[in-house]
A and B are shown apart, each in its own frame.
Chain A
């Protein structure tokens, strides 16, 4: 036990019981699991399951070792359904076999050669097999109508592929294939970048919530190396994170209005968003991918002039947004399309450990900003909106309320911001330490795991929130009219490039055995 993290070395035979105890009895949320090739260090593979106890602000890490030859670890998917994807990912990338479950290819493309596991340390980072393109079709069912959506643009113009099975107008089943844009950045970072360069790489994981990723990475490294980052830097991080949340939620609302055919609302939401983009540029130097995070602090200070300007912009945005949302939410077509569609009941939401606004709209009261405080959030008081309906309207309203809360958080933090340096001078990052950090991105909890190495992380694992939310789509879309499908897919605010960062495609049709 160290700080707010509990390390448990779980023997293989007790892993399932321990995971079940944590997930089902102690109601911890399951965040992700990380496979590590530790053969150069101790001759074993390892898998670390990350749980968080949100009520007691604790991280719980369950670490299990596997033999170097034919690594086998018991699967926990029977007791923790949410672990499905990350186990498959460890199987694809490291060749760890999970006993007691089916294996299928999730991340790597179907044509990737068997027996090559890219995240093993003996595979070079620039290894490129010849891969032929194959059809996206997942199955050739003739009994049901098959509607392909993608691989381009179903929701937010990113590559992913859904196959909807319909009876008449009603969706009866869904299959998903993603990971088209896996870019292998974890391998890249582990092979040839240094600690400070990875901040900029992490920021490019996502085009919308990039700052969450770079903050999460920096916080994880700082936690691993036990660095005391100046308070002012933490305040600036929190302020910029909230600016990003406002812009992201406004973007989502605009897109949602666009999907239901209310383009006037779309235009006006994005007009308001433009002010936030300008504000972000003023505070950081860039409209997006702010590039101000470093391990040990931030690069750009907020002076008095910028502070006043920020407050002024926020006041304008706040009043304009309130006025607009009241109008837009009451448009009959918006109401009819949002209320009661894409419902995710709470029991499934818990089982799948969904994140962010999707969880909060389904009655799960969790928010990493409050439950696992990081950066400067402990100095601000804010409300976490929770709705019980679990439909698209609830998810929209959660985001609307969060925008207003974010504005209030920024105002509070700007008021309290302490004086001092913004960057830690001279520090060392020792080898072999572990840091895990959850940051509440606009889409939910974003998890970064860092195991430090010489000059660069030995292992860096990123889990974006959409990774947990996509499996919930199957439940949301079931028995819904087809016309609501694009909106429902969009309602989790999917961010496929974030999710895919780890590797590329899956092959056969079996996925999401839940529900």
Chain B
């Protein structure tokens, strides 16, 4: 007999709970502070190194290259909001937000571009972005002259240096390796 009336207890549960839905968007959304939302890339801080491009699982971040520009493109449509780019960015240029209302009328709103001009080597080929070179010079004990060359010219200058020195360790190393 008791079992028959058991289902009626749901009314008690419902009464105790009351209304749980909220009037979004007139009330704030139900998200916690830990929520991973949209990322914002600071054009001032970004050095165009491409670490985020390598880490991004869905290729939402891409590096577009032309002879004198490197452009970091962020496409929201592909982004899975994993924030791996934030983990790997060496200069902290990417910040996470709790923003998630990203619908738009204009498709182009979904793209963000960050343009970097390339530093040119003396031979004319475009190298890494100017800012990245500055960052490397700040961090690593190498001379500016060396850093501003393209990989090909670096190789050439090493061979030149070796061929100038008929004896000595540079020559020795080059022969054994």
Give the B-binding residues of A (Cβ under 8 A): 193-194, 196-197, 199-201, 204, 264-265, 268, 271, 274, 278, 281-286, 289, 291, 299-300, 320, 323-324, 326-328, 330-332
Contact = CB atoms under 8 A, between A and B. Distances in A.
Contacts of A265: 10
Contacts of B55: 196-197
A356 B96 CA distance: 38
Interface stretch (B41-49, B66-74, B76-84, B152-160): B76-84
Given A268-B14, A326-B6, A193 B57 contact: yes
Going nearest first, the 6 A-B pairs with the smallest beta carbon separation are A200-B57, A285-B36, A197-B57, A330-B6, A291-B82, A331-B7
Nearest to B56: A197
A284 B82 CA distance: 10
A327 B13 contact: yes
Contact of B13 (A268, A278, A282, A284): A268
Contacts of A289: 80
B41 to A, nearest CB: 19
Interface in B84-126: 84, 87
Interface stretch (B27-35, B127-135, B143-151): B27-35
B10 A327 contact: yes
B3 A200 contact: no
B177 interface: no
Contact of B80 (A200, A281, A330): A200
B176 interface: no
Given A193-B57, A285-B36, A200 B82 contact: yes
B48 to A, nearest CB: 21
Contacts of A291: 36, 80-83
A323 B36 contact: no
Contacts of B13: 268, 320, 323-324, 327
Interface in B12-40: 13-14, 17, 20, 30-32, 34-36
Contacts of A194: 54
B32 A268 contact: no
23 contacts: A196-B84, A199-B57, A200-B58, A200-B82, A264-B10, A268-B13, A268-B14, A278-B32, A281-B32, A281-B34, A282-B32, A285-B35, A285-B36, A286-B35, A286-B36, A289-B80, A291-B82, A324-B13, A327-B9, A327-B10, A328-B7, A330-B3, A332-B4
Contacts of B9: 323, 327
Nearest to A196: B55
A197 B30 CA distance: 29
A248 to B, nearest CB: 20
Contact of A281 (B14, B35, B54): B35
Contacts of B30: 278
A324 B87 CA distance: 42
Nearest to A281: B32
A284 B10 contact: no
A127 B83 CA distance: 31
B57 A327 contact: no
A271 B20 contact: yes
A268 B11 CA distance: 11
Nearest to A200: B57
Contacts of A284: 34
Contacts of A331: 6-7
Contacts of A320: 13
A243 to B, nearest CB: 13
Contact of B17 (A197, A271, A300, A327): A271
Nearest to B17: A271
B39 to A, nearest CB: 13
Contacts of A300: 34
Given A200-B82, A291-B82, A281 B31 contact: yes
Contacts of A326: 6
Given A197-B57, A274-B20, A330-B3, A268 B10 contact: yes
A35 to B, nearest CB: 26
Nearest to B58: A200
A264 B57 CA distance: 41
B94 to A, nearest CB: 15
Nearest to A275: B20
Nearest to A199: B57
Given A200-B57, A324-B13, A286 B81 contact: yes
A206 B34 CA distance: 23
A210 B54 CA distance: 23
B80 A282 contact: no
A274 to B, nearest CB: 7
A200 B82 CA distance: 8
A316 to B, nearest CB: 11
Contacts of B83: 285, 291
A289 B81 CA distance: 10
A204 B78 CA distance: 13
A314 B134 CA distance: 52
A284 to B, nearest CB: 7
Nearest to A291: B82
